[in-house]
Structure 1
Amino acid sequence: MMRVEDNTIVAGGHGTDLSFPSLPVDILLHVLSYLSVLDILSLRTTAKPMYTLTRMHAVWYNVMLFEVLPMDIPIPGLYSRDMSSLSASDLEHMIVRALRLRKNWLSPSPRKIKRTEIVPLPEEESRDTLRGAVIRFLPGRGNRYLLTVTGHTNFSRRRYTVQCWDLEASGGPKRVAVRRFTEIVSVAVNCDPHASGVLSVTCKVEGNESVQPATFIHALDLDSPDQNPEYAFKYLNHFPGCRRLHIFNGSLLVGTNESDAVRVWDVTTGKVLYELRDPTVVQPSVCVNAVFLEDTNFLILFRTISLEVYMLPHSSSSPSMSSPSSSPPLVSPDSGLQVVHPVVLHKWQWRIDSVSVSFQMKSRQRYTSRLNTSATTAKGKGRQYEPTTMHLFMRFDSWFPWPVNLLHHFVLHPNPSYIPGPKSLTVPPSASPITTKTHTLFPSLLNPLTDLPYLATPDQTPTLVSSLSSTVRLFAPSDMVLGEWGTALWLDTQTEMWGVSGELGQRIAGRVVVPSGSGPSRGVSMTDPEGRLVGTSEVAGHDADAEAADVNVIDNPPSTLGSSFASATRQVPPAQTASMTFGIRDAGASRKSEDDDEVANMGGVVVTGAGRGGADEWMHLGLDEEGGRIVVGRNGGRVEIWEYV
């Protein structure tokens, strides 16, 4: 029989010692399974045997598996690492950091632990007017690499510098790749981290008679750390016709041409595969976003007036999705391209200006490959796509030069009767679409009740969960991003306490619109960075409007189609405000010193002076929830990284 004695775990025989440390290890581990994290850390300080016990790998692995993961919160530093291969101290460190990050992240004024500034082109700041254009994390690499695009305005034809930064390099962010372009129109980063092409850039290219857009595809070599950054981007291909890029996934690129027609390109050949068109309209509306559904040939387009679901005849990631028995392709008489119609669409009540999309997923699903258990390994083999709740964070458009001063959170629940598997699109002849006020089902031999992941019936429509006040001053920059863990982050000019725009200044605010999990069965307590006790509810930090929607929308999605689905998802809470304010920039604030921008506190929020670049210096946002980081692109080309753990 094993027991804990002094600093080692030894075998012991029968005896009369009935002290707690003398109990068998399996019983001690079972007892510890009922303790909170704070209780485990407190128990460690009572005796040497307890110190040894609480340092065991099994203790923290169980805490991670049964307590932290059910909370559905990001775990900093885990990324693609295998949990079973981590030491006990590594697991303990990750758990403590995850709980402290969640506490800080969900506070009304999250406290920046560290602020780092990237100066993309220090040698050119004094002689050129720079402007930050794009900031993007490279997917699938633990958000280690950040892509920045900086514009040079002192040229007749504007030049741009694209750079890739290693944020985890020793000594601070290090530039690992750089390439220069002229007249960039649009940029997209490949969603598939395993694809050869990483970056797609559309530029204006001068032809014999006119200027035409051309898209350039580049690979990125990150495996040679000692190479010259000038040679890290590798040219692969280029082709004409694409003006605005929407999504780059694998070998497929979705974008619009000069006539706002949405097309799909194969980047390896540069050829147009399909043109995506709604046959019910003559003039296509503008496409503002697009997403591929993982491991399927479904593509969702977000236009200004509609949400459209397409099933592409071909999927590069899964060729078996297409079938030779499909109907002959429809060819456009104007362009000669194969035309694909949506299988279903939803019309918005108002025109939308912009939208960010996130799919709700449990921590166990996100970290399945990291658990390395027999159950998860067996489940991962031959895994088929299962649709999850889609969260939409959007701003509607208006007839004025600025969008509506409200942000809206919609949820779109998946079709509960959807059956995964290969599907082919066959259009029956002489068939008409089935149309209601906001829902249109186009003719095909698909069974909508089992073959469509979303919008299977007129009742399965996006449901408004909350509306958030977010005013934007005329001509002021604005941006928003919705993270995969449910954090909505936005940039606006609502700097006044009563919810209106100030004459000058900017605000970076946020709200967790996707609720955390139900949490562990026992209370997970932790201390905040100042050492104060943090309870489970504070750590999990359920959002107010998310909790209001939990009862009918999030935790209890209906299991049947029809009216029950509609009635269960029609509750609309009143308008809300931001629950987290990460920063306020006040152009009228005076500096404390030449090197310190932070000048005052307004309700616990650090107010920053105007500095270089004027009042509207913040331009773009980037979000890394798992690492507890926010990236802010500034007007002068500089980039700030705010860390909260």
Structure 2
Amino acid sequence: MPHSRRTYAHPTRSIRKRYHRDNPIRTKSDAKRSEADLEIEIKQMQDGRESNALSVDRRVSLTTLDEDVALQIFSDLNVEDVISLRKTSKDLTILSRFRTVWHNALISNVLSQNLPIPSLPSPFPAFKSLPDLQSLSSEELEILTRESLAVRDNWTSPAPTRTFCARLRTKVMRLLSVTFLPSPSPLGPDTASSSSTSAHAADYSQGRPNSEWLSGRYFVTFGYIAEGLYSLQIWDAEAVLDSSSTSSSTDRICRNDEEDPDNIKLVGEWLGSGRATGLAVCNNVTADEGTLNGFCSCYQDRQSSAQRSTLRIFSFNPHRQDIHDSGVYSREDSLRALRSVTLARPVTLVALTDSRVILQLKGIDVADEFLLLVRDWRTGWTTNNDWEAVLRPSKHGMGKTILSIRVIHDFIVVFRESVVDIYFLPSDFNLPGDATDLSEEVPSYVSVDGSPSSSPRYAPSPSKVHRILLRPSASHKWTWSLNSLAVTERYSWYHERRQASCRLCEGTTKFASGRSCQCVYRPLSLAVRFDSYFPWPVNLIHHFVVHTSPEFDPSALNPLDFAIPINGAPHSNEEIAPCSPFVLPPQNTYTIPSSVRLFGRTALVLGSHGTLVWLDSESDYVPLPLLHQGSADRMAHASAAHNTDEGDEQIETEGYAFAAGTGERIASIQIPLTIPLSGDSQTTNTNSGKEPLVPTSERVLPSLIAARSMEGWTAVATDERAGRIVVGDSEGFVEVWDYY
């Protein structure tokens, strides 16, 4: 068969043929018009072929683009892609080291995702003071970004790797509480919040300097040495890392001895007698006083056999001048008692601010039970015009136990086991003299009032004090009673930036009347366990978010609007419209399975960046290589075995460790600040307008911190910026675990 040659029509001829088929010519004018249109179409086709040929020859890439265009492309890449492009060519290496690239990377990958910036010892000053981002170099921004993402990956991994662990013995026989001391902020009383959350957020969002020491360095332990004798101790977890040292955290030795390790030092201690009835910590704003610690104890008077209470306010600051001169720690100088007051009735200390103390009344009158007393501890009990405010619970909160209290600027948020009450009481409010119909004179219940040191005593307290009763400005009743609660003021990058550009207060956070602007309030995160009909709580942890209200206007508020008249009913004016910077009810965002057996212990701790750490009884599901062995070498060996094939075989052959009814674990999870919305909505209302939702990970699983076959853990505390978890047990031991 002869070879047949295939012929191809000329492209111009094919276009003409197709065009005449689709556009039949009827008149001469149509023929002229169609011929002109046909020439235009042929010309466009030829120009397109030439441009395609030129584009292939040029081979456009990132290196041939304009510098501004290439930097814009870099700003849309994640950190891993930037590092990968850096290895491809010399030109991209230069572009990847531009300061603009890492400034945008820090904002888009860390700050806007509400991730904590680690407090890492480093030769770069950015890790210690975190000044304005504009003062950081490109190298500092890159290290800050990459370290933040690296520690985030380890912090949220299924089995985080510890960089340091230590076990120390305290004086107490049974440890009751462990609390981190917040870093004092030198922002001044006009800008600093009573909680540590806003101070940390302002450090690296508005260019303000950080505190005198790193976050999570000092923690407080409390417990009983013997019956009627208690001990309050303050520990330095970074004693070997001096502020002038440039060594990294990897230089620390991982120990697990029963003796006190060299890395952790006791820097403050207070011994007292009686029955402890409250411990509170406050972040003060003055550089000399440092962090404030309040402690209350109850004892029985031997002469009158009456129950009395002693309230003490301590100031802790390890960087006072006398300590710097000596070069060594002095427990007496670092922990000082600022105020000591003896009350002639039993009370419980529930909250402490830089100027006020909140006490829960007990014992004398049934009508006074579960009332909250607010006094000025600096000038109260010493002046003739002394006054106090009593916070009366709502009708659903009468007789209910108080779980937590947060003082947030001008509002006091009280969390009871069945209700949330919000009270409006600014820190600068003073009772006017003409408010006779809203106040009454009552006994002050003060028997002794003086300075705890050898300095001259304070003036004696008056026998009468003016009292004002306040009702909640807003309230919410839970469907079920709460068993345990953890609450924190969340850090939000969008709130911080919008606060700096707020038009209502012009960035001052205050109105002319002295009230705090609505831009200073942040969403609240709640982690709760509900009660059940059984002797143990519900085996679920619910996470709620209380967002701020965009319609809230605090400029014209007056606390007397919420005062209860002397002759009025206790709940006579509760029908007034609620007024609060927070939107109630709280929105449920996450539900986490967590089992607690009968007589099992549980504890909840929630960080300002969304890290939830809890103690439960789910040790039955922990593989053997992840068990807490009580020795640093064994833990390292178990961790190494877990990452190998041998470790996987051990899990399959030996199964799970504990029989039902034994063991305990500590777990954590990172919860983003978001509210699930239905439909196509991509924003949620906040006090600053519309805030973009943080995308939720498809696989949000808890991280196993530790587990063991025995029981005894009683308290847990965490600090996200330091990457540190401190755990106390019933035998008086404290374990410190670092993950950064």
TM-score by length of 2: 0.62
Paired letter, 2:341: F
Paired letter, 1:217: I
1:242-300 superposed Cα distances (whole Å, 9 cap, x missing partner): 63322212211222132432211222135472111136479532211111223x2x111
- The reply on whether 1:86 has 2:144 as its aligned counterpart is no
Question: Structure 1 324/617 Cα, relative in aligned 2: closer, same or farther at 3 Å?
Answer: same
The SS at the match of 2:153 is helix
Q: Where do 1:2-401 residues align within 5 Å?
A: 25-77=67-119, 81-82=130-131, 83-107=133-157, 109-121=158-170, 130-140=173-183, 141=211, 142-153=214-225, 155-167=226-238, 169-170=240-241, 172-183=263-274, 184-194=276-286, 196=289, 198-207=292-301, 208-210=303-305, 211-223=307-319, 224-225=323-324, 226=327, 227-241=329-343, 243-259=347-363, 260-271=370-381, 273-278=388-393, 280=395, 284-294=399-409, 296=410, 298-312=411-425, 315-316=426-427, 318-319=428-429, 328-331=437-440, 337-366=467-496, 380-382=507-509, 384-386=517-519, 387-398=521-532, 401=535
- Answer whether contact 1:486 1:514 (CA < 8 A) is retained: yes
- Answer whether contact 1:277 1:284 (CA < 8 A) is retained: no
Question: Structure 1 41/163 Cα, relative in aligned 2: closer, same or farther at 3 Å?
Answer: same
Residue 143 of structure 1 and its aligned partner are, at CA, apart by 1.9
Counterpart CA distance in 2 for 1:101 and 1:554 is 32
Residue 117 of structure 1 and its aligned partner are, at CA, apart by 1.4
Question: Structure 1 193/110 Cα, relative in aligned 2: closer, same or farther at 3 Å?
Answer: farther
The SS at the match of 1:278 is coil
Residue 492 of structure 1 and its aligned partner are, at CA, apart by 0.9
Residue 236 of structure 1 and its aligned partner are, at CA, apart by 0.8
Counterpart CA distance in 2 for 1:551 and 1:79 is 42
Residue 201 of structure 1 and its aligned partner are, at CA, apart by 1.0
Residue 399 of structure 1 and its aligned partner are, at CA, apart by 5.8
Counterpart CA distance in 1 for 2:686 and 2:585 is 15
Question: Structure 1 343/492 Cα, relative in aligned 2: closer, same or farther at 3 Å?
Answer: same
Counterpart CA distance in 2 for 1:510 and 1:228 is 36
Identity of aligned residues (%): 24
Q: Where do 1:398-409 residues align within 5 Å?
A: 398=532, 401-409=535-543
- Answer whether contact 1:395 1:408 (CA < 8 A) is retained: yes
- Answer whether contact 2:175 2:224 (CA < 8 A) is retained: no
Match of 1:462 among 586, 589, 613: 586
How many residue pairs end up in the alignment? Answer: 527
Residue 43 of structure 1 and its aligned partner are, at CA, apart by 2.7
Question: Structure 1 406/193 Cα, relative in aligned 2: closer, same or farther at 3 Å?
Answer: farther
Paired letter, 2:339: N
Residue 48 of structure 1 and its aligned partner are, at CA, apart by 4.2
Question: Structure 1 392/331 Cα, relative in aligned 2: closer, same or farther at 3 Å?
Answer: farther
- Answer whether contact 2:216 2:722 (CA < 8 A) is retained: no
- Answer whether contact 1:139 1:193 (CA < 8 A) is retained: no
- Aligned twin of 1:582: 704
- Answer whether contact 1:246 1:288 (CA < 8 A) is retained: no
Residue 422 of structure 1 and its aligned partner are, at CA, apart by 4.7
- Aligned twin of 2:618: 494
Paired letter, 1:136: T
- Answer whether contact 1:633 1:640 (CA < 8 A) is retained: yes
- Answer whether contact 2:564 2:573 (CA < 8 A) is retained: no
1:471-522 superposed Cα distances (whole Å, 9 cap, x missing partner): 2233332210111112222101122239999311111123333347xxxxxx
Question: Structure 1 65/159 Cα, relative in aligned 2: closer, same or farther at 3 Å?
Answer: closer
Structure 2 residue runs of 5 or longer lacking an equivalent are: 1-57, 120-126, 184-210, 242-251, 253-262, 364-369, 382-386, 445-464, 511-516, 623-655, 688-697
Counterpart CA distance in 1 for 2:491 and 2:144 is 20
Paired letter, 1:135: V
Structure 1 residue runs of 5 or longer lacking an equivalent are: 1-15, 517-545, 561-575, 588-614
Residue 234 of structure 1 and its aligned partner are, at CA, apart by 1.0
Residue 217 of structure 1 and its aligned partner are, at CA, apart by 0.5
Residue 206 of structure 1 and its aligned partner are, at CA, apart by 4.6
- Aligned twin of 2:49: none
The 10-residue stretch of structure 1 (226-235 or 138-147) with the greater mean CA deviation from structure 2: 138-147
Q: Where do 1:489-528 residues align within 5 Å?
A: 489-497=613-621, 502-515=660-673
Counterpart CA distance in 2 for 1:616 and 1:243 is 32
Residue 347 of structure 1 and its aligned partner are, at CA, apart by 1.9
- Aligned twin of 2:255: none
- Answer whether contact 1:343 1:441 (CA < 8 A) is retained: no
The structure that is helix-richer by fraction is: 2
Residue 32 of structure 1 and its aligned partner are, at CA, apart by 2.4
Paired letter, 1:472: V
RMSD over aligned CA atoms reads 4.1
Residue 553 of structure 1 and its aligned partner are, at CA, apart by 13
The SS at the match of 2:103 is helix
Counterpart CA distance in 2 for 1:112 and 1:433 is 59
Question: Structure 1 72/283 Cα, relative in aligned 2: closer, same or farther at 3 Å?
Answer: closer
Question: Structure 1 641/262 Cα, relative in aligned 2: closer, same or farther at 3 Å?
Answer: same
The SS at the match of 2:619 is coil
1:59-111 superposed Cα distances (whole Å, 9 cap, x missing partner): 2112213443222222223585122222322211121122223323333x232
Q: Which structure has the bigger radius of gyration?
A: 2
- Aligned twin of 2:561: 426
- Answer whether contact 1:418 1:452 (CA < 8 A) is retained: yes
- Answer whether contact 1:508 1:584 (CA < 8 A) is retained: yes
Paired letter, 2:518: Y
Counterpart CA distance in 2 for 1:62 and 1:348 is 42
- Answer whether contact 2:468 2:563 (CA < 8 A) is retained: no
- Answer whether contact 2:309 2:342 (CA < 8 A) is retained: yes
Counterpart CA distance in 2 for 1:559 and 1:585 is 39
- Answer whether contact 2:518 2:553 (CA < 8 A) is retained: no
Question: Structure 1 33/505 Cα, relative in aligned 2: closer, same or farther at 3 Å?
Answer: same
The SS at the match of 1:496 is helix
Where relative contact order (Cα < 8 A, 6+ residues apart) is larger, the structure is 1
1:369-394 superposed Cα distances (whole Å, 9 cap, x missing partner): 9xxx9999x96434623344332211
Residue 341 of structure 1 and its aligned partner are, at CA, apart by 1.6
Counterpart CA distance in 1 for 2:176 and 2:668 is 22
Question: Structure 1 328/146 Cα, relative in aligned 2: closer, same or farther at 3 Å?
Answer: farther
Counterpart CA distance in 1 for 2:701 and 2:112 is 23
Question: Structure 1 187/118 Cα, relative in aligned 2: closer, same or farther at 3 Å?
Answer: farther
Residue 114 of structure 1 and its aligned partner are, at CA, apart by 1.5
